[in-house]
Structure 1
């Protein structure tokens, strides 16, 4: 590449020098009326021309060409690094800006072509200036386009994909009624197929869970104003439903709504946004501090000696020290400590 560029630059500089010398010898003003073909036809191949040609070729090849080649290659490497960092949109926008700048430059410079080599140099300079100006304007507009797209995306809620577990759980229906979740609800066809498979199970417990999930979907469609869309797209090469949901969420830039712990972890690893119903439930539970009083109905004995177990309305477990003797009764207790676990919150109390 270097040698080829050196030869090309040497040839151009040598021809330019010989033609300039020819014009000067003929008594014309230096670098005026530059016509490449006519000069070659009118130039006689004398020893003087041959000597000048060889001298200029040697000087250009040894002194001028290496400097120009180094400069060109450095600029090419700079442009290559810059283009590598550009997105496809930036490349398209910058290319359009450069083309528009060059079109305007050539339209403006049409009258300058009659001034010979001087006019050609001025045209070249204007092309460079307006081409670069078009590139800079296009890149500034590209930044504005990006900001507009980001604002548009932030103002528009992402679609929410419901997985099988959150549909069967049923709490999503109550959450949607409160209008806390915005955006379109997406039900993939493969999730419906899994629900139907569970509803047709020979196991009565699974069958009831599957039918409950189908009932929840019917209520979401009929009772709520939330837009619901069933996506027919499937991934035949992916076996697991969870993997299909992740793939669909990545393609649609959607949010997954689930209460599946494992799906939540995999989605976090892949950078997919997840709304976990269990995490939401834990977040909205009332805060109980040690030293507070509360009432609880003891319904069974605990694992430890003399312990009793009760539950709040949201399912939070209450461990009552010495509450075994009060099974079946509603008693006042004093909170001693609160333990937050991945499975939920446990409150330890003692009888007053």
Structure 2
């Protein structure tokens, strides 16, 4: 019976991550310490003194373990900060600004899908943290009556599952939530401040809001723009003008990577490939635009 019980415990523990077991054990020990301290205060009381320590141990032991597992990300972040603070004694104040290495994934970054390719190259360090409220939003999108939204939600869930299976980078689901905050973006920003983590997104508005509140952001669109070939004013190239621009006589063309090219006086060349000269380049977090003029004019 004892061996059967041990095997049951082992099989049950296999379903938990090693970090959950370590943090849960520490929480259990802390709860038992508190239970024993309280039990000593009631030790000489009749009835309560005999059974109190047992009840206190069960209640506080379970509470300590449960709270520690729920607050795992905060405990890990705190331990990281303490470790950095200890090493800072030898290396001066340069470690004060070092951040927790975890990255919070936004819903838009998951659905976009490029995050999986970035992780597979090894350029992004983990762990990647997926809050439970982001998963809930993905599930709502996947259950939407709108076909396009439903496909996006399912794509996001498939990408997360594939990233966990590929194991290029550690992907953790964290249970931190804020019932007093409305909106996934607001919760992400608050959680980023709480655990000192960066937010990975391609949402332009979230990028601005997070920056205003002091939360570091890794914008996938910024990374994509940085990797696009640089276009220098005066450079010559050939483009296919596909439609008219917003302003009078403007034409619009696109590079292979999707970059928009605004062609001055190019409306009359719609449907034709023409040589152009770059006049200026405008780059923002929302994307890059190249302004050109017809080369032979």
Give the TM-score category using the shorter length. Answer: 0.5 to 0.7
Q: Partners in 2 of 1:143 and 1:258 — Cα distance?
A: 32
1:272 correspondence with 2:205: no
Deviation at 1:293, TM superposition (A): 0.6
Show the 5 A alignment for 1:93-112: none
Compute the TM-score of the two structures, normalised by the length of structure 2.
0.62
Q: Which deviations, in whole Å up to 9, do the C-alpha atoms of 1:291-348 show, x marking residues without a partner?
A: 1111222222223344321111232211223433443343322222323455332212
CA distance 1:262–1:230, change in 2 (3 Å): same
Q: Partners in 2 of 1:144 and 1:212 — Cα distance?
A: 43
Q: Partners in 2 of 1:281 and 1:226 — Cα distance?
A: 20
* Residue aligning to 2:108: 165
Unaligned runs of 5+ in 2: 1-84
Show the 5 A alignment for 1:1-352: 146-147=89-90, 158-341=101-284, 343-352=286-295
* 1:233 partner SS: coil
Q: Partners in 1 of 2:248 and 2:205 — Cα distance?
A: 35
* 1:339 partner SS: strand
Deviation at 1:183, TM superposition (A): 2.1
Q: Contact between 2:100 and 2:195, CA under 8 Å: does it hold in 1?
A: no
CA distance 1:279–1:145, change in 2 (3 Å): closer
* 1:180 partner SS: coil
Judging by fraction of residues, say which structure has more helix.
Answer: 1
Q: Partners in 2 of 1:228 and 1:150 — Cα distance?
A: 31
CA distance 1:145–1:302, change in 2 (3 Å): closer
Q: Partners in 2 of 1:156 and 1:263 — Cα distance?
A: 20
Q: Partners in 2 of 1:145 and 1:347 — Cα distance?
A: 46
Q: How many residues align?
A: 211
Q: Partners in 2 of 1:143 and 1:217 — Cα distance?
A: 35
Moved over 6 A (4+): 149-157
Deviation at 1:216, TM superposition (A): 1.9
* Residue aligning to 1:25: none
Q: Contact between 2:211 and 2:217, CA under 8 Å: does it hold in 1?
A: yes
Deviation at 1:193, TM superposition (A): 0.5
CA distance 1:272–1:235, change in 2 (3 Å): same
Q: Which deviations, in whole Å up to 9, do the C-alpha atoms of 1:66-123 show, x marking residues without a partner?
A: xxxxxxxxxxxxxxxxxxxxxxxxxxxxxxxxxxxxxxxxxxxxxxxxxxxxxxxxxx
* 1:238 partner SS: coil
Q: Contact between 2:104 and 2:199, CA under 8 Å: does it hold in 1?
A: yes
Deviation at 1:146, TM superposition (A): 3.6
Deviation at 1:250, TM superposition (A): 2.3
* 1:294 partner SS: strand
CA distance 1:222–1:295, change in 2 (3 Å): farther
Compute the TM-score of the two structures, normalised by the length of structure 1.
0.53
CA distance 1:322–1:156, change in 2 (3 Å): closer
